[in-house]
Structure 1
């Protein structure tokens, strides 16, 4: 069962991992970041871009929930991407800057959620126009799982390029019990 505590922990994990992944990726030259590596979205940069695109698409959908909180207000001036591989920023530094900002939005959004928000049903269309009606709690699980899935691909691409991301397990963020 999805809880607000789960959402907050996953938002923290998302931010922590993105900081680690971007720090690791910054050790590669620009041509290595954009080199075709056979991943779903081609390169390290392509995969990081896809994560930003997907996060924006989902968060913009979440703004339509009746319980959307003010943490998502900063997305109002941002157009919703129309393709999963739509390039958002041409240079890594700008993508990283926007990632830091978006992760702050995600943390603030998760911190403002209340239990009753998780029960709402969201009606939306995917980028192909297919229509769905899904409970927000399940979509929130997908939102965070999708991030983990593609960051796993990025850590593999970085490892293949000789860059170690370090600890990636959520377990590292869990407090020790006394």
Structure 2
């Protein structure tokens, strides 16, 4: 979008300069827009992580880099029964988006919608997300796909731990704890 605005502005400036009798190459103007576009794409998908590594305070000031593999501990409650499941979480993040995928022995889940925020009082990073779960093994009479929602708090001491409560459309709930492994 920024490059598009640059291209429009450059086009208008070039038109104005041409009316004043100053010769301008439109190819040069639009090649500048392409360079800006490519630079922005690089920053959004790759470059921002390099900047976050060089300036770690950006984890505090903006939002932490949560990319990586995480070990999941899932305490669950359903129909009066409780249990613990372990799994692996993969978080993929760029400058504008974040997604969470979880793989556990009996199910796997993926993000449907996710919102990142900072708590207005403590400034702790928060993740609120809605996810879809697909069971790996079909249980007779039960839906193999269901939805859940979770609110996770980021541990600001290390940025290597996420924890919070969840509930599902199957009238179950519990507590997630993710610890970064890579």
Structure 1 length-normalised TM = 0.23
Task: Give 1 or 2: higher strand fraction.
Answer: 2
Higher relative contact order (CA 8 A, sep 6+): 1
Q: Which has the higher helix share?
A: 1
Query: With structure 2 as the length reference, what TM-score do the two structures score?
Result: 0.23
